Each structure stands twice: as C-alpha cells, then as structure tokens.
Amino acid sequence: MLKKILVGLVAVVLIVVAAFTVLIFSVDDSFSVEREVTINRPRAEVFAYLRLIKNQSVWGPWFKKEPTMKQEFRGTDGEVGFVAYWNGTTDDVGEGEQEITRIVDGERVETQLRFIRPFTSKADAYLVTEDAGEGNTKVRWGFTSSMPRPMNLLLLFMDMDKEIGKDYEEGLANLKLILENQ
C-alpha cells in the first residue's frame, strides 16, 4: 500500500515537472514593442534631433517621472559608441545605460539598453524616420528583448506591449509637440 502511494506521488511529481518543462519551452522568451507618430517637420530635421540621445531627457517619458535622476555621458552624442547612463531613485526609472550601436544617417539610430535595476536585462532599441509626404516624417520607436527561461513564464501574466507601449506613446507625443513647436 505504501509502495503504491509512493509510486503515485513520484508519478504526479514527474507529470508536474514535465508539464512545467513543456510550458517553459512553449512560451516565447522574446518580445517587442513598437509605436509610431507622424510629425509635421522635415525628415532631416527630425533625424538630426533624434540621433542625439541627450535629447531624450527632454521628450522621453522616464525623465518626466524623475527629472532629478543622475545622468552621465561618455563619448560624442550622435555617434556610434556614445553612452548615456542614468540612475533614478524609483523602480519606474531604475538604473542603466544606453549605447548607440548603429546609425544609418537620415534613417535609423540603433541602441542597446542595459538595465541594471530594478532587474538586469538588455534590449535592442531603435528610432526610425520615414518620409510621410508634404514635409511630414513618420517616426517609429521600438525595441526587442527577451527573458531567460523559466522567467519567460512571467510573459504569460505581463502585457509588455501595453505596459511599455504607453510610455512609448507618451514619449512620441512629447517628441511631436516639441518638434512641431520649434
């Protein structure tokens, strides 16, 4: 009788472990977020503003959440290798750095985000400008990232597009307001 109970318990544990393992590998470990806005300014002007990472402290939503956060910069802004470091006191802002990794002049700025706090992770971000006719520019702002397994199971309960997307929408609205009123 005890042997049957023990065998049953082992079987249940094995089934739970197997189900958990299948779940871990069936849930995607990567995610991306992208938003866009059309700005009534010429593409060259918009791109010249976007390539300068320091300008994000003016239009980026996180800087409005904590305007007194510590910032440090290394390199020449607007060039590959430039690094912007931030350290806020809240988890909304956290701590990390952003490095320009690639620039396609007039079209695209790519950066790597390295988050330190509230959690350690990396993301690849981009800002893309496209002609939208009649002196208008479409700006796409996005990023891709991943969560290691088994942490990727958190993606079942978190809507990263909704959570981060609202910040991107706010930032792009700020960007539009600033550039259209210059």
Amino acid letter at 59? W
112 CB-near residues (< 8 Å, 6+ apart): 98, 99, 101, 122, 123, 124, 125
- 17 neighbors 47 (Cβ within 8 angstroms): no
Look at residue 158 in the predicted model and tell me its pLDDT: 66
Specify the DSSP element, H or E, that contains 84.
strand 83-87
Interatomic CA distance for residues 152 and 172, integer angstroms: 28
Q: Tell me the domain boundaries of the chain.
A: 29-180
Work out the pLDDT band at 20, boundaries 50, 70, 90.
Answer: low
Fold of 29-180: Alpha-D-Glucose-1,6-Bisphosphate; Chain A, domain 4 (3.30.530)
Cis amide leading into 148 (omega within 30): no
Chain segment 125-170, per-residue pLDDT in tens: 999 999 999 999 999 999 887 666 666 455 555 666 777 889 999 9
Work out the pLDDT band at 81, boundaries 50, 70, 90.
Answer: very high
Q: What is the per-residue DSSP string for 86-147?
A: EE-SSTTT-EEEEEEEEEETTTEEEEEEEEEESS-EEEEEEEEEEE-STT-EEEEEEEEEE-
pTM: 0.82
Look at residue 152 in the predicted model and tell me its pLDDT: 47
Q: Which two tokens stand for residue 89?
A: 């006191």
Look at residue 176 in the predicted model and tell me its pLDDT: 98
Chain segment 41-59, per-residue pLDDT in tens: 999 999 999 999 999 999 9
Q: What percent of the chain has pLDDT over 90?
A: 60
| Averaged pLDDT for residues 13-32 | 65
| Averaged pLDDT for residues 112-134 | 94
Q: What percent of the chain has pLDDT over 70?
A: 84
